[in-house]
Amino acid sequence: MDYSIARRRMVAQHVVARGIHDEELIHVMEELPRHLFVEEALQSQAYTDYALPIGEKQTISQPYMVAIMTQSLELKRSDRVLEIGTGSGYQAAVLSRLVTHVYSVERIANLARRARRVLDKIGCSNVHIQVCDGTSGWGEQAPFDAIVVTAGAPDIPQHYLQQLEIGGRLVIPVGGSGAQILKRVTRVSENHFDYEDILECRFVPLIGKHGWSQTS
Binding site for ligand SAM (CB under 6 A): 58-61, 84-85, 87-88, 90-91, 105-108, 111, 133-135, 150-151, 203-204, 206-208, 211
Please classify residue 140 by burial: count the beta carbons closer than 10 Å to its beta carbon, then call 0-12 exposed, 13-18 middle and 19+ buried. exposed
Shortest reach from residue 86's CB to ligand SAM, in Å? 6
Q: Residue 182: beta bridge partners?
A: 173, 199
Residue of this chain nearest to ligand SAM (CB atom)? 85
Choosing from 4, 61, 213, 216, which is the catalytic residue? Answer: 61
Q: Residue 115 or 185: which CB sits closer to ligand SAM?
A: 115
- Output helix, strand, coil percentages for the chain, rounded to the nearest 5: 35, 30, 35
Rounded distance between C-alpha atoms, residue 162 and residue 143, angstroms: 8
Shortest reach from residue 166's CB to ligand SAM, in Å? 25
* Under 8 Å between Cβ of 198 and 204: no
Rounded distance between C-alpha atoms, residue 172 and residue 6, angstroms: 29
Q: Which residues of 155-175 are buried (b: 16+ CB within 10 A; e: fewer)?
A: ebbebbbebbeeebbbbbbbb
Q: Residue 40 or 192: which CB sits closer to ligand SAM?
A: 40
Q: Residue 66 or 164: which CB sits closer to ligand SAM?
A: 66
Shortest reach from residue 132's CB to ligand SAM, in Å? 7
Examine the residue annotation and report whether 61 is marked as an active-site residue of this protein: yes
Shortest reach from residue 94's CB to ligand SAM, in Å? 8
Q: Residue 88 or 96: which CB sits closer to ligand SAM?
A: 88
Residues known to be catalytic: 61
